[in-house]
Amino acid sequence: MAILGFLAILGPGLISANAGNDAGGIITYASAGSQFGYRMLFLMILITVALVVVQEMCARLGAYTGEGLGALIREQFPLPSGAAAMLLLFIANAGLTVSEFAGIGASMEIFGVSRYIAVPLALAGIWTVTVLGNYSLAERVFVVMGLVFLTYPIAAFLGHPDPGAVASNLLWPHFLHSKAFLLLAVALIGTTITPYMQFYLTSAVVDKGVTPETYRGERIDTINGAILSIFIIIATAAAIGGTGPLSNIGQAAAALRPVAGEAASQLFAIGLLGAALLAATVVPLSTAYAIAETAGVERSLSRKLREAPVFYGIYTVQLVVGAAIALLPGNAVSLVINAQVLNGFITPVLLTYILILANRRSVLGDAANGPIFRTVATICVTVVGLLSAVVLVQTVIGWL
């Protein structure tokens, strides 16, 4: 009964934070620690500042307008621009969904279950529970499984990282001028300031009836998720830092050995499975909500399948495509990192929509971005965009 009571009080904020630290996020942060040690820590501080700015704008938009980002984009931008935004969101979320199913397959392989069995079963289970069953209960079970990753801060201390190196890299940039470093930097942006979380947060603020007086607290859980990512990098760097890129999911579990010993792989697999199941459920839902909201059609899990065919159709398509691509031959770690890089390329474009909306007095009135906040927000979006553009240009040149 105590467990049921605990499950009952878990709110959207905690769900949002744990969905943010999904399979793609955990693996990307662990890869940063494995490949570059503590060098990415200063970048994570900058990304967290940008995340705070973006989350504040999204929460403010939802609280003051009573509308989600999809509806605001439909109302404030020409039809081609709105359609382009939804297409980009669909592509970004499709990549994330692939990485979640890849995480499900990889976590179950640690327990000796083939991904060709685990992924189809997960697909069927997620669709059935979400469309036909008790979505809320399943959501909370996935969150509890994902709470395993709260052991990372403990592992970061028990792993005896070099305090001087940690402090130095947190307070001062130690960047490398290499394509691999820049590529992973874009992946970190894509997995931390992920577009779907902004659409999710704005809609959650509206659904919960948050007022202009109370909206500021809505971004705290997601920021906590970003802080957890710093501990993941530290713990992994202390355990296997400098050994190069992760070659398999199991290597990422090494960071939990100070906490779990020989059971680290199993503990990591449980957390990864829960995080991946949660995000594989929430990410396609955010796509379906945003596109259905933009199109002005019925969108709610409280509706039956026949009452919201477009909403459930978009959700189903993303699930099926994500699972199918995750089953293609290839390295799961590379697949996940590439999905986060794709997200990183798309993130600055969608952030520009959010910035424009938050700047407009016609949308927010006196609550629109003031001169100082507008400057800070513009700098954040511009820097993210420039970094993504540099990596994109380098990638295209490499192809040519």
Rounded distance, CA 368 to CA 92, Å? Answer: 28
Span of 251-260, 265-274, 292-301, 360-369 with lowest mean pLDDT: 292-301
Angle between helices 332-359 and 195-207 (to 10 degrees): 50
Which long-range contacts (C-beta less than 8 Å, at least 24 apart) are formed by 124-127? 126/277, 126/280, 126/281, 126/319, 127/316, 127/319
Instruction: Give, in degrees to the nearest 5, the angle at Cα 388 between 374 and 382.
Output: 15
The b/e string for 354-387 (b: 16+ C-beta within 10 A; e otherwise) is bbebbbeeebbeebbbeeebeeebeebbeebbeb
pLDDT band at 354 (very low <50, low <70, confident <90, very high): very high
Longest dimension (CA), the chain: 61
Name the E strands within the chain: none
Span of 35-39, 136-140, 181-185, 266-270 with lowest mean pLDDT: 136-140
Q: Which residue has the higher pLDDT, 225 or 16?
A: 225
Those residues whose C-beta lies under 8 Å from the C-beta of residue 358, and which sit 6 or more positions away, are 57, 60, 61, 364, 368, 369, 377
Residue 16 has pLDDT above 60, yes or no: no
Contact 118, 23 (CB under 8 A): no
DSSP codes, 17-74: HHHHS-HHHHHHHHHHHHHHTTTTHHHHHHHHHHHHHHHHHHHHHHHHH---HHHHHH
Question: What separation in angstroms does the CA of 336 have from each of 164, 188, 274?
Answer: 31, 12, 16
Q: What is the mean pLDDT of residues 168-189?
A: 89
Residue 123 has pLDDT above 90, yes or no: yes
At 108-117, the pLDDT tens digits run: 999 999 999 9
pTM value is 0.86
Q: What is the mean pLDDT of the chain?
A: 84
- Where exactly are the structural domains of the chain? 2-399
At 251-263, the pLDDT tens digits run: 888 888 888 788 8
Tell me, what's the pLDDT at 1?
44
At 376-394, the pLDDT tens digits run: 999 999 998 898 888 888 7
Contact 293, 277 (CB under 8 A): no
Reduced to 3 DSSP states, what percent helix, strand and coil does the chain have, rounded to the nearest 5?
Answer: 85, 0, 15
Rounded distance, CA 357 to CA 60, Å? Answer: 11
Rounded distance, CA 276 to CA 110, Å? Answer: 14
What kind of fold does domain 2-399 have according to CATH?
Answer: Amino acid/polyamine transporter I (1.20.1740)
